Structure 1
Amino acid sequence: MVLVRYNPWQELNALERHINGLFGDTRVPSARLEKGFVRVPAAELQETDDAIHLKLELPGLEAKDLDIQVTQDAVHISGERKSQTKTENNGTTRSEFYYGKFQRVIPLSVRIQNTNVTADYKDGILNLTLPKSEQEKNKVVKVNLEQPAV
């Protein structure tokens, strides 16, 4: 039997490497899968009185490669970026581009009219305008201020 000296710092070093890997690319969120990380498109939400405006960064994709489904309380986006790189017999290619399938679900804070959504896709930016339902536009919440007991 071989005795191995226990090093408690080894586990902390492994945890630090894992955390650094999670935050290594802060520009694009990632989803953890079994074989590494899969990048998902970065999103920007802006809410106005009448609608929610969702902007997604999807460079290098054509509109036909995207599948967008909108429910009353979420937006489901999936697609695939296909590699078009060809290497010659003696050539080497290094790439930091991500190729493959992705999927992202963006929950919405209010219910929307999913039958009246408009979309615009230009220069790798997808803009969705998600009009709020009439119930959400007219929602009034009464706030009761309790008087302190005298």
Structure 2
Amino acid sequence: MALVRWNPWREIDTLQRQINDIFADTRVPSALFERGIVRVPAAELEETENAILLKLEIPGMEAKDLDVQVTEKAVYISGERKQETKTEEKGATKSEFYYGKFQRVIPLPARVENTSVTADYKDGILNLTLPKVEAEKNKVVKVNLDQASA
């Protein structure tokens, strides 16, 4: 049996490469667990004077497979990407697609009128237009200080 000298830096280098691999993953986050990481649809949020525009990237799914719920303060989206079953007799298949259930809650920067939301789902992009609630007008109340000191 041969003695091998232990080098602690080799283990640190391995750990550093693994961490770099996690952060260097440039694939679009999609929907599942992969190596313990939760994949969710990528989102883009834009706030205008009258509405909040939310864009979600959900490729490869049909609208009937998505569940979108809107409250005054958040958008909840969930769905399931089902795996296609194929039978191949020769060769190996490598897939970077993600299959399974996903869910995401996106908090909104302002209250919205959730009964007036419009949605458009085309080419794997879900666009939501969330109209803002009209801000309550500030009521000015005069405080009578003469009665307060009595």
TM value normalised by structure 2: 0.74
Deviates more, 1:45-54 or 1:80-89: 80-89
What residue in structure 1 maps to residue 47 of structure 2?
47
Cα distance change of structure 1 residues 27 and 35 upon mapping to structure 2, 3 Å threshold: closer
Matches within 5 A, 1:79-98: 79-98=79-98
Residue 61 of structure 1 deviates from its aligned partner by 0.2
Which 5+ residue runs of structure 2 have no aligned equivalent?
139-150
Identical-residue share of aligned pairs (%): 71
Deviates more, 1:10-19 or 1:94-103: 10-19
Is the 2:66–2:78 Cα contact (8 Å) retained in structure 1?
yes
Is the 2:43–2:54 Cα contact (8 Å) retained in structure 1?
yes
1:35-78 residue CA offsets vs partner (Å, 9 max, x unmatched): 52232111111111000000111110000110111111111111
What residue in structure 2 maps to residue 75 of structure 1?
75
Residue 99 of structure 1 deviates from its aligned partner by 1.2
SS at match of 2:135: helix
Take 1:11 and 1:72, find their aligned partners in 2: how far apart are those partners? Answer: 50
What residue in structure 2 maps to residue 146 of structure 1?
none
Residue 103 of structure 1 deviates from its aligned partner by 1.2
Residue 26 of structure 1 deviates from its aligned partner by 3.6
What residue in structure 2 maps to residue 60 of structure 1?
60
Is the 1:87–1:93 Cα contact (8 Å) retained in structure 2?
no
Aligned residue type for 2:74: A
Take 1:37 and 1:13, find their aligned partners in 2: how far apart are those partners? Answer: 22
Which 5+ residue runs of structure 1 have no aligned equivalent?
140-150
1:81-131 residue CA offsets vs partner (Å, 9 max, x unmatched): 111140223342111111111111111111111111111111111000011
Higher radius of gyration, 1 or 2: 2
SS at match of 2:90: coil
Residue 9 of structure 1 deviates from its aligned partner by 3.3
Structure 2 residue 22 is the aligned partner of structure 1 residue 22: yes
Take 1:16 and 1:38, find their aligned partners in 2: how far apart are those partners? Answer: 21
Is the 1:119–1:128 Cα contact (8 Å) retained in structure 2?
yes
Take 1:13 and 1:69, find their aligned partners in 2: how far apart are those partners? Answer: 45
TM value normalised by structure 1: 0.74
SS at match of 1:135: coil
Take 1:77 and 1:122, find their aligned partners in 2: how far apart are those partners? Answer: 16
Aligned residue type for 2:124: G
